Structure 1
Amino acid sequence: MPCGLSRLTNLRSLPLFIAGDKTGACSIIELENLKLHGKMVIQFSEDFKNYSCGGRKILKNKELNELRIALNERFDKDMFVDLCPNTSLKKLEICCYRSPQFPTWLMESQLPNLVEVRLGGCRDCEHIPPFGNLQFLKKLDLDYMNGITQLGAEFHGYRGFPSLQELSLNWMSNLEEWSESHVVDQLFPLLQKLLIFMCPKLKSTPRFPRIQELQTSCGNGSILSCIGRFTSLSVLQLTAMPDIASLPSGCIRNLTSLTKLQIARCEQFQSLPGDEMQFLEMLRSLIIERCDNLAFFPEVRSLNSVCFRLNGVISQPKEFVQILNSVDEFHIEICDNNVDLRGQLQYLHTLKILSLSGSHADSQLTFPYGIRKLSICCCDELESLIAAEEVSNIVLEQLYINRFSNLTTLPDWLQHLNSLRVLCIWHCPRLERVSRDLKNLHMLKTLNIVGCPQLKSRCARETGEDWPIISNIPHVDIE
């Protein structure tokens, strides 16, 4: 940034100031007499090392609402003391502060009007300021602070976060203890959302009387023992908890306000507690993703939405189908090598979208919410998936057949899908012809064929041998 900034006496807004040491660069001292307001980012370049402000408090006279200070590894602590903002500041972000102790203007809560704070990359800091004293603070993010080993009285202060609504603890790899307060009657009285990510040593938390959403990822399974106390919880998301095989006893029994439960990428997770799930009368959405050892899940009568993405073995396919029939929407992705639904699909009376793949791959199809969709990969053949004689109750509207390298003919049960509106056949190189029964599917509006060379000529418009079979379909696309 070129020098001479201080001569712009009418300047009121400076969204970004980059401090550098190159010849002709503007000194940070030039900010001192500018009457700035609004939002501002002060970023120190990687080569910047001339931090001297000579004791001048260059930000004190500025009516800033939001301030972000991004330091480099060469900063001088005294320089940071001189960057104390005006007390009107509402949002503060500090990145890459590397001293063990924060300056007095943070440690003594000299910014009483702060509403939102983020500390990121302050890896050497050993003490977090007493943000609990900030009466108006609503959101706090603490990221990449490896020097912090405990949160307690110093952090909570004498007020205990009276207004905080959202708290995030991310990549605090050495955080071991988060204690209750013996000074404040009630900690975090208004906290609604708590995110804990990559805090592998943290085993417990204080009580949160009004918490509504808890997300914890890549952490210690012992922390789940605290969840049973969060009786106001509405959303619970557990991700990448490598050491949990099941939820601790009593973990969810008292979560009578829970509406959404999501468990993802927990490789050892085997089952949900059926006896406790029955107490979750408000539960509407259940999402299980990439928990490949899951073998048992109970029926929950209150569910409206179910989402499973599983490679593990499901030992009770009949019960699985019953669960799907009982919910308003579902999105299921399973592997045929582990989940055998042969002889069961015709009983899935609410299924609207069926995607079948001959190879192992994640589904690339996306559908809106409210849809009843099932994706099955690694199918070795199609004919036995559905019993043709019992298919009359199926209301399937969309069928996708993809990557069956040995498929030569379409399954017989296709002719009975009287509600079918969309049929897509992709990358089936040996498929010889379309079924003559397609002509009888009067609801079929779209036929899409891709990567099926033998069908390309047979289904050619007007001239192909199979064209009379599909000519009544309004939208035919063959590539």
Structure 2
Amino acid sequence: MAEGFIIPLNHGDQSLEELAEECFLILLQRCFFQDIKRDEWGDISSCKMHDLMHDLAIKVAGVNCKVAKFGESNSNTGIHHVSFAYRLTSSSKIPSWMLNLKLLRTFLLPEQRKDGSPLSKLISQEIISNFGCLRVLDLHNLGVRNLPSSIDLARWEGAYEDVSCSNHDEAVMEGLKPHPNLRQLGIYWYRGQKLPSWAMMGNLCINLPNLVEIELLRCGRCQQLPPFGQLPFLKCLSLVSLESVEYMEMDCSVYDHPLSSAEIPFFPSLQELTLMYMDNLKGWWNEAIVNNEAEEAAHISMSFSNLRKLWIQKCLKLIFLPKCPNVEELTLVDANERISLSKMATVTSSNSSSKLRKLTISNVEDLISLPRECLHQLHSLNVEGAELVNTDEIGNEVFKSISSSLCCLEFTHCNSLRFFAQGLEYLTAIEKLKLWDCKQLDLLPDEQLPWKNFKSLRSLGLHHFPRLLVLPSGLQHLVNLRSLEITCNDELREIPEWISCFSSLGYMRLFSCPKLTSLPEGFRKLTTLNQLFIKECPGLTEKCRRPNGSEWPKIQHIPLVTVLKDIHD
């Protein structure tokens, strides 16, 4: 059986060499962007391409691809694709040897992370003036707010203004008809306004009846989608950055309800649904078709009966979605207020209790107003409320009611959060605590965090705290801690000696803490520590490497020690 189908779209007539290079570029992009995985703390770790595929790509591309390392030089002016093995900062300069690459087509920055340091205008001007043949320009996390008018690019928002490109993509897609046994379909960066005839209307379930997974990514001009709900075996549907789509389906009459003789159930097998960055998505069906009370009742009564995982993010116009009575994992971030949490996790008469176990939400008020029966089985809670200042209401209204079930608590991108101790004393069953990018949060002892109450805490993650100079002394009460991750803390200067109190610690990771220059003697007492991972901590890189590093004697008893300078080390 055919397992997957990925559609690359080229640009006009290409030589065999150019086509080969484009294939390599697709592999390179998938290596850095598509196939990267995020571990449970949100850090990026790259997946390796299959060895044979990697060797083939290198063989085809020859010397036209280059991974640029800091401080090195190169005399080959025929390089077409460059990927940086280090981060650019406001004080960085484009290497002089790169300025001679007049045929450069790809400029990638896989190591770039957001550090609040905008790119200098000089670098921007150098890129624009020297690399006129660029096809792929990566500017993520460089603080670039506006693109210069001299860059002839689209606004993947993802829309294309070039009509010829749209017609080209539509013609290519129309000529492609996948095998009827296909199980996975992925279409990326498609610039057409409509999908091919073999996928639209009822043709999709006729031509590709065995589809199990569908992913559409950055198809910014596509305006209409096929009726995915008719696919009998579809389990996973992911739609990301389809800015022109207003309704998922134009008609609900094809499904089985009292007004139709059809016997097609609504998404009979769907288990996972992802809707992200759908700027103009208003609802599942066009409200104009609901022209009488009976049809409206049928419209509202339909639900995702088997949906277990739902992710809705940056869909600000979406005001209606079928109910999800059996949802177990729900992400509702930056959504319209009319898409309430209570409607997403509605308890029906046939389902007396909510199955919601994992929740990520940015609307804190919606969380507080949620009926308590919807939270009784909640195992994991991630709050991404940018306006959240303290946890007074959450602590009293939510934490108290889920004290016996909640095992994992996360606060992510809560940039206004200053105090979060309120209500934590109720969470006696908490096993995992993660704090990520809470810029105003102060973890110093004067906040009186109830660390002593966290007897069950097994895993702690402190990520991106610009004000964190030292670890809170209260952490030494976490005697049952088994995993500690400290990442992206630019001002952290030391690991305290009381680290030896973590007598059960088995895994520790230090990532991107540039001001750490030594490890405490207490590491020698961490006899249960079997994995230590250190990356992008320049003050420790050489000191912690065997056999002659000055810090090596403190950690030589640890069975697995990994010390990396950067992702390419």
TM-score normalised by L of structure 2: 0.49
Please, which of 200, 207, 210 is the counterpart of residue 106 of structure 1? 200
Matched, 1:258 2:378: yes
1:271-311 Cα offsets, whole Å, 9 max, x none, are 23432223334322112234243322523123222222344
Cα displacement (A) at 1:184: 8.1
Deviation of 1:99 after TM superposition, in Å, equals 2.8
Deviations 1:450-479, CA, capped at 9 Å, x for gaps: 69xxx97xx99xxxxxxxxx99x979x9xx
1:131 and 1:155 in contact (8 A); partners too = no
Aligned 1:130-279 pairs, distance under 5 A: 130-151=227-248, 154=251, 157-158=254-255, 159-178=265-284, 182-183=298-299, 185-220=301-336, 223-225=339-341, 226-229=343-346, 231-238=354-361, 241=362, 244=363, 247-251=366-370, 253=372, 254-264=374-384, 266-270=385-389, 271=391, 272-279=394-401
The separation in 1 between residues aligned to 2:484 and 2:461, in whole angstroms, is 10
Q: Distance in 2 between matches of 1:84 and 1:345?
A: 59
Tell me the amino acid that sits aligned with residue 134 of structure 1: L
1:298 maps onto 2:428 in alignment: no
Q: Secondary structure at the match of 1:119?
A: strand
CA RMSD, Structure 1 to Structure 2 (Å): 5.1
Give the Cα separation in 1 of the matches to 2:465 and 2:198: 58
In structure 1, what residue type is equivalent to 2:406? L
Aligned twin of 1:45: 10
* Number of residue pairs the alignment of both structures matches: 355
State the partner residue of 1:75: 168
Indicate the residue corresponding to 1:117 in structure 2. 214
Contact 1:228–1:252 (CA under 8 A) maintained in structure 2: no
SS in 2 for 1:140: strand
CA contact (8 A) 1:143 1:171 kept: yes
State how far apart, in whole Å, the 1-side matches of 2:224 and 2:246 are: 9
Runs of at least 5 residues in structure 1 that lack an aligned partner in the other structure: 1-12, 14-36, 50-70, 365-375, 430-447, 461-469
In percent, how many aligned pairs have the same letter?
21
Q: In the TM superposition, what is the alpha-carbon distance from 1:207 to its structure 2 partner?
A: 0.9
How far residue 209 of structure 1 moved from its aligned partner, in angstroms, is 1.6
After superposition, the C-alpha distances for 1:429-454 in whole angstroms (9 at most, x for unaligned) are 9xxxxxxxxxxxxxxxxxx9569xxx
Q: Residues 163 and 323 from structure 1, CA distance in 2 versus in 1: closer, same or farther, beyond 3 angstroms?
A: same
Equivalence for 1:55: none
Q: How far apart are the structure 1 equivalents of 2:223 and 2:500?
A: 68
Q: Secondary structure at the match of 2:298?
A: coil
- Using the alignment, how far apart are the partners of 1:212 and 1:125 within structure 2? 31
Q: Of 87, 92, 96, which residue of structure 1 is paired with 2:185?
A: 92
Assess if the C-alpha contact under 8 Å between 2:177 and 2:198 holds in 1. Answer: no
Contact 2:205-2:230 within 8 A present in 1 as well: no
Please name the residue that 1:65 is paired with. none
User: Contact (CA 8 Å) 1:293, 1:313: kept in 2 or not?
Assistant: no
Deviation at 1:161, TM superposition (A): 0.9
Deviation (angstroms), 1:177 = 2.9
The change in CA–CA distance for 1:48 and 1:174 in structure 2 (over 3 A counts) is farther
* Pairing 1:330-409 to 2, within 5 Å after superposition: 330-333=460-463, 337=467, 344-345=474-475, 347-350=477-480, 362=488, 377=492, 395=503, 403=515
Equivalent pair of 1:193/1:214 in contact (CA under 8 Å) = yes
- Structure with more of its chain in strand, by fraction: 1
Shift of 1:195: 2.2
Contact 2:326–2:345, Cα closer than 8 Å, also in 1: no
Quick one: distance in 2 between partners of 1:46 and 1:382?
A: 57
Go from structure 1 to structure 2 and tell me whether the alpha carbon gap of 1:351 and 1:338 turns closer, same or farther (over 3 Å shift): same
What CA distance in whole angstroms lies between the structure 2 residues aligned with 1:332 and 1:39?
38
The answer (yes or no) to whether the contact 1:121–1:145 under 8 Å persists in 2 is yes
Counterpart for residue 325 of structure 1: 455
Deviations 1:154-190 (A, max 9, x none): 2784132111112222331111334687258542211
Counterpart code for 2:407: R
SS in 2 for 1:322: helix
Does the CA contact (< 8 Å) of 1:119 and 1:143 recur in 2?
Answer: yes
What TM-score, normalized to structure 1?
0.57
SS at 1:279 equivalent: helix
**Do 1:269 and 1:291's aligned partners in 2 also have CA atoms closer than 8 Å?**
yes
**Gaps spanning 5+ residues in structure 2: where?**
15-163, 256-264, 286-295, 348-353, 562-569
Distance 1:44 1:404 in 2: 46
The ranges of structure 1 where at least 4 consecutive aligned residues each deviate by more than 6 angstroms after the TM superposition are 338-343, 352-356, 391-394, 396-402, 422-429
- Structure of greater Rg: 1
Residue identity in the other structure for 1:305: K
Write the deviation string for residues 318-376 of structure 1: whole angstroms up to 9, x where unpaired: 343134334233334585957997664554444578899xxxx7259xxxxxxxxxxx9
